[in-house]
Amino acid sequence: MQTQSNSIAAVFEERARESMATSETLLRCDNLRKSFRSGAQEIVPIDGLDFSILRGEMVSIVGPSGTGKSTLLHILAALDTPTSGTVYFGGNSLRSFSEAELAEYRNRAVGLVWQRHHLLPDFTAAENVAMPLLVRGVALEQALQTAGGWLSEVGLASRTEQRAGELSGGEQQRVAIARALVNGPALLLADEPTGDLDERSAENVFELMQRLHASYHLTSVLATHNLSLARRTGRVLLMERGKLTPATNVHADSAGAASVPTGPDQNLGRVQVTRV
Ligand SMILES: Nc1ncnc2c1ncn2[C@@H]1O[C@H](COP(=O)(O)OP(=O)(O)OP(=O)(O)O)[C@@H](O)[C@H]1O
Ligand SMILES: [Mg+2]
């Protein structure tokens, strides 16, 4: 018997397939605006933002703190709604999705990785990775088996039974990446995934993301303050004054970026970004 969840997934996948046939754009933002009210003040981190990403692209978003990178990723993940404007996934407006379809979108279409891994420290690595499968009703044994496969994929086959709280920062982020991918999303959204890691762990986690991006035909959006990693993605966009603009000539020394630029053509110590 088909469960409600399965039938929703079928509808969702059919929809996505239809639009994929006519367009290679996976995600598109049309005149996006997001404002927050803080007392008498209105904060507008996103203001008339247009953005699209082709299937298979890996794009990084850089920009000073507080410019709206996380706000945008939350909107793309349907964890928050824009004040105005529209996000299209596979040609379908997220506004047209029912609550059940939005839940399906969050659980199946999008994988999320945060700066802090948000693992459950008292649960094992495998249980953490299995969580999104359990949420959509997969049986425990099957979920743990699939989770074990993903832990092998991220180089942690020997750690499946270890409590997440006992793993190193880099290992925890690998578990978080496995958890993000366990439901086979098309889109991977990562918000400063290496922000809490030392240089070597950051490099390892970034290389893992690049490998998985290619192996699983992902479309990836990465917000980062690390410009030396950003410039190794296919496209670097600068978040500034509520909009995304293409950035070229992204320079950072081998240690990556400790700071980010505050505007075009500004050289803040070791880092320089020039807008097109
Ligand atoms: N829920 C909220 N309520 C009020 N203001 C908010 C809320 N979320 C974000 N903001 C404000 O929106 C602006 C953008 O925040 P955001 O976290 O998106 O920036 P960011 O580019 O991710 O910064 P960082 O690089 O430090 O992570 C900030 O001024 C922030 O204070
Ligand atoms: Mg942020």
Measured CA to CA, the distance from residue 32 to residue 37 in angstroms comes to: 17
For ligand 1, atom 28, the nearest C-alpha belongs to 66
Please give the domain boundaries of the chain with CATH numbers for all domains.
4-12+23-275 (3.40.50.300)
State the burial class of residue 180 (Cβ atoms within 10 Å of its Cβ: 0-12, 13-18, 19+).
buried
The pLDDT, as a whole number, for residue 115 is 86
131 CA to centre of ligand 1 in angstroms:
28
Pocket test for ligand 1, best of 69, 75, 191, 260 (most atoms within 8 A of CB): 69
Per-residue pLDDT of the chain (276 residues; tens, 9 = 90+): 444 445 445 555 654 555 555 458 999 999 999 999 989 999 999 999 999 999 999 999 999 999 999 999 999 999 999 999 999 999 999 999 999 999 999 999 999 999 887 899 999 999 999 999 999 899 999 999 999 999 999 999 999 999 999 999 999 999 999 999 999 999 999 999 999 999 999 999 999 999 999 999 999 999 999 999 999 999 999 999 999 999 876 654 443 343 344 333 333 223 344 433
Measured CA to CA, the distance from residue 16 to residue 74 in angstroms comes to: 21
For ligand 1, atom 9, the nearest C-alpha belongs to 71
For ligand 1, atom 13, the nearest C-alpha belongs to 66
The pLDDT, as a whole number, for residue 117 is 73
63 CA to centre of ligand 2 in angstroms:
10
